[in-house]
Structure 1
């Protein structure tokens, strides 16, 4: 017990970094994913093609590789970015690509009759999207978005590769130094707590948006 108490300050500090990364990525990636999902369906073909290429590129390559590119790869061409900047760029752009596909499929799942009804009512395209389509899309995409948010909790551990002292790196340092698995067990409990909170939040959100309960 005394050993665990001595671990807690550095583990909590690492957890704070993990939480900060988690929330900042969500704040930027979610709205960006919505915009990109709409852009994927744009009638302006160059924009739609560009977004299709973007999604293919960021979904088709590992997040770890993207993280290394933003931090180490840019140095090759003489550009140096801070560790935190590289992390946020990699995570936001990667998760926005996944979320864009989720929102795109959600938008396409809405029946065409609703667009026709909105047109009959004289609503503009913007009004149709914001007042009729997107509210239904948000309800339908809650489960896949929830899965991506849970993946984000676990993917935050990847930032150890560029020496950012988040939760998993703090656990690894103590485990190697003290030759024990206890720090990893504590880190696992922190991650399980985060995923449990996320799961409960999305269950609550889904029940709140259930029209037929």
Structure 2
């Protein structure tokens, strides 16, 4: 009788252990079943509206003292003070060609030193494939200094400078920023626009890269 009781106790312990194992296993299975695979976030895509392109006026220009390629400029963009910008244009223009000239500027670039000169922005120009011909992109006469240049169908807000640099936004958009057959600046097929009309290459350079 004692042997039977011991056997019954042993069987009961085994059954309890089996039930506990089943419960644990069920919890594991349940956890695995409910756990969703983590989805990878799609990379962000940007359009030309991410760029802050504005009408400006060069109020002062001088030759960079340590570079035979660069001009240093002060550009009025309708801000509290003119911006300092360096442009590699000495092979194509004289200093007198720059002063008081109306230009188009890419503004949301981080400030960087170009041969020691703190440059904050980029004066946009059209150039041919081998970069032997370069022309300023010019705003229409009626466009106001500081006015933003937009592109038809792309009216979003520009991205901040840090994001433009980190995500290499301009590098991704630049290949599609060109002049059309009339020398007008387009992004893909979207035409540039201001209150006075589109921006154009100074002498109407068609099929050029704009940068």
Provide TM-score, normalisation by structure 1: 0.21
Query: Higher helix fraction: Structure 1 or Structure 2?
Result: 1
Query: Higher strand fraction: Structure 1 or Structure 2?
Result: 2
Provide TM-score, normalisation by structure 2: 0.21
Higher RCO by CA contacts (8 Å cutoff, separation 6 or greater):
1
Q: Which has the larger radius of gyration?
A: 2
